């Protein structure tokens, strides 16, 4: 019979969509109070995968990812999403978001995102928050699943998440958790 084990720690990250860098910077400063110091950041890239956000946010939209190097409990994902949703509302102008914040985490075998929207592949966590495996890790590479967002399927996201996963390995070894 299996015994209850604590979850293996993960490294949290946030994906940010924005128009104005000042709002992105403000959002990331606030997110650090939730996820810890965001030491790892991707290069900004144009977000040209969908026009879904343009009606609310405008265009052109930029994407950046930022990750913490502080080990965290993956069961906190719902709390991270609720807190980042609050930040989106605080930074809104005229009831329109200036940033879109998508928290998630990198574990050794997967990258997971939180969402407030239900879909068949999403698992309810609590308080209206769902979890979705965005990528799996095998054979030294990130692998798409059928519902992987197009930006997460591309090289910039996978490169950033690989960097975060490599840091996760370092942190887990430091704490003798591997």
pLDDT in tens, 68-103: 999 999 999 999 999 999 999 999 999 999 999 999
Query: What tokens does 144 get?
Result: 């798409």
Report if residue 71 sits inside a domain: yes
35, 13 contact by CB (below 8 A): yes
Predicted TM-score (pTM) of the model is 0.96
Domain span at 17: 11-173
Q: What percent of the chain has pLDDT over 70?
A: 100
Query: Which two three-digit tokens encode residue 10?
Result: 């993960």
3-state secondary structure of 142: strand
Residue 81 covered by a domain: yes
Give the model's pLDDT for residue 27: 98
| pLDDT number for residue 149 | 97
pLDDT band at 21 (very low <50, low <70, confident <90, very high): very high
Q: Give yes or no for a contact between 133 and 145, defined as CB atoms under 8 angstroms apart.
A: yes
Domain count, the chain: 1
User: What are the tens digits of pLDDT across the range 108-141?
Assistant: 999 999 999 999 999 999 999 999 999 999 999 9
Does residue 99 contact residue 18 with C-beta atoms inside 8 Å? Answer: yes
CATH of the domain at 21: 3.30.70.260
- What pLDDT does 131 receive? 98
């Amino acid at each position: 019979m299996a015994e209850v084990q604590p979850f293996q720690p993960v490294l949290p990250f946030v994906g940010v969509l924005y128009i104005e860098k000042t709002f992105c910077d403000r959002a990331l400063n606030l997110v650090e109070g939730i996820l810890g110091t965001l030491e790892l950041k991707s290069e900004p890239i144009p977000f040209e995968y969908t026009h879904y956000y343009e009606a609310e946010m405008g265009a052109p939209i930029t994407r950046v990812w930022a990750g913490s190097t502080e080990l965290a409990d993956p069961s906190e994902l719902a709390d991270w999403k609720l807190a980042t949703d609050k930040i989106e509302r605080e930074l809104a102008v005229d009831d329109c978001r200036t940033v879109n914040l998508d928290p998630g985490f990198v574990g050794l075998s997967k990258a997971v995102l939180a969402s407030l929207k239900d879909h068949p592949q999403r698992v309810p966590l609590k308080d209206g928050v769902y979890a979705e495996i965005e990528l799996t890790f095998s054979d030294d590479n990130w692998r798409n699943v059928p519902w992987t967002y197009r930006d997460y399927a591309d090289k910039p996201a996978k490169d950033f998440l690989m960097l975060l996963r490599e840091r996760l390995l370092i942190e887990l070894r430091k704490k003798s958790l591997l």
